[in-house]
Structure 1
Amino acid sequence: MTDDKRRGVLFDVDGTLVDTTYLHTVSWWEALRQADHRVPMARIHRSIGMGSDKLLDHLLGAERDRDADGRLRDAHDALYGEYWERLTPLPGARELLRACAERGLRVVLATSAAEHEVTALRAALDVDDVIDSVTSSADAQESKPAPDILVAALEQSGLAAERVVFVGDSVWDVAAAGKLDIPCIGLTCGGTSRAELAGAGAVAVYDDPAALLDALSDSAIASLG
């Protein structure tokens, strides 16, 4: 049930609030290399933000034999897991979440990371006291660029699509938000350029959470009131 009086900000986490995009890139590159798939890192990086099923389709082709997909995901997870204790928030991430909460906005982590990864991401952010709700891959039937995870975030937080802004770092984030007519603010700290994010439909683009925080009063978030 939605609360028409409450407003909020949905945040992607990987590459938006926590500096993980290139860690995922390297982990996928090594997992694919171990299975004799030679995929350039630049292609992998541009796929980060999709769910693993769509990422593998994008990189290896939708008509491939999917029998090995589980082993590829397991290899990625094992490699990425080695970084968990060293995960670091991006500049201004904690302060941005707190500033949104201080404005009376619900702060929602709309991530499609697996539940065990979400635990590591939340530990890195260390701001559970201002987070209203958190999603995980278990909450979405289909991964980004499908909007399922945003639908789940809205349902869990009781927010309506017309009363939120989404903050993400990939074109897949922008695409998912666009399917629900949710304004999406893009951040380039995940390695996607300003031109790419704006071209995908981001209403504004900033370097990182700190830059968005500095411009908060003039941003789409301020328009939530």
Structure 2
Amino acid sequence: MFKGFVFDVEGTLVDSVAQNLRSFQDALERSGYRVSIQVLQAYSGLDGDQTLQLVVPEASQDERRAILKERGAIFERDYLPSVKPFDGVRDVFRVLGEHGGRVALATDCRGLAFKRYMTLLKADDFIAATACGDDVEHGKPDPRLVGMALRKLGLSGPTAVMVGDTPYDAEAGLEAGTKVATVLTGGFTEEVLRQAGSFAVARDLKALLKSLLFGEKGLELQQSDWLRSA
């Protein structure tokens, strides 16, 4: 079993992907750019400035900063109140702790949104460390958030697993030396997540739990459960 479990938050622990995409689209439109939700979905979970460099390459650095600031304000005002936690997060954290695992969060979100998510999760007693967007300048796939979470846990990469919902979570985890497991709640396909390096992909955290507890053996247990129920 892994000693450490580093979790992404948005799209993994809380159901916020649609709200994030809409706030990004709204901010872009206010600056005169029309970008479809489908295009933005492909970059969901990627560092915001990197996303803008890809979807509006003509925008200057100052304009990108203004768009990101506007996006944050729109999200907090119009979309944050509708975000809900996914079912079973606290139970998953509890089981991991009962098996000797330590939980950390590594998320690009910051400020009011991060505080709101922590309140929604009601799992502070199971979370040993956090690294958020207030702590580092660059978001995923830059591995520094994951690395900071590992240092706070006092663990090395090979003893831990990064748990996320995007290929950018996977890239950050692999760069930090961890294994990677992902869920489908972020809107990416299983194929995309496996190509990004996930050793396990499941529909949600509860379905991923056996793989987190038992690694590759957990995949065999999941398959056997499926065969018994077929």
Q: 1:72 aligns with which of 58, 67, 71?
A: 67
2:133 corresponding residue in structure 1: 137
Q: Does 1:199 align with 2:200?
A: no
Aligned partners of 2:19 and 2:80 also within 8 Å: no
What are the Cα deviations for residues 13-72 of structure 1, in whole angstroms up to 9, with x where unaligned?
A: 0001100111100110111011111111111112121121112112112x6312222321
The 3 A distance-change label for structure 1 pair 221 and 183 is farther
Matched, 1:92 2:88: yes
In the TM superposition, residue 122 of structure 1 has moved relative to its aligned partner by 0.6
Q: Percent identical across equivalent pairs?
A: 29
Give the aligned partner of residue 110 of structure 1: 106
Instruction: Indicate conservation of the 8 Å contact 1:165/1:220, yes or no.
Output: no
Number of positions where the alignment pairs a residue of Structure 1 with one of Structure 2: 217
Deviations 1:67-92 (CA, angstroms, capped at 9, x unpaired) = 22232112211221133333211132
SS in 1 for 2:85: coil
State the secondary structure of the residue aligned to 2:15: coil
Moved over 6 A (4+): none
Q: Give me the TM-score of the superposition, normalised by structure 1.
A: 0.89
- Corresponding residue of 2:43: 47
RMSD: 2.0
Contact conserved, 1:165 with 1:221, CA < 8 A, in 2?
A: no
Structure 1: stretches of 5+ with no match in the other structure: 1-5
Any unmatched runs of 5+ in structure 2? 219-230
Cα 1:33–1:51, aligned 2, differ >3 Å: closer, same or farther? same
The equivalent of 1:56 in structure 2 is 52
Q: Residue 34 of structure 1 corresponds to which residue in structure 2?
A: 30
TM-score w.r.t. the length of structure 2 is 0.87
Partner of 1:3: none
Work out the CA distance in 2 between the residues paired with 1:171 and 1:14: 13
Q: Structure 2 CA distance, aligned partners of 1:104 and 1:184?
A: 19
AA at the equivalent of 1:174: A
For the residues of structure 1 that align with 2:132 and 2:119, how far apart are their CA atoms? 15
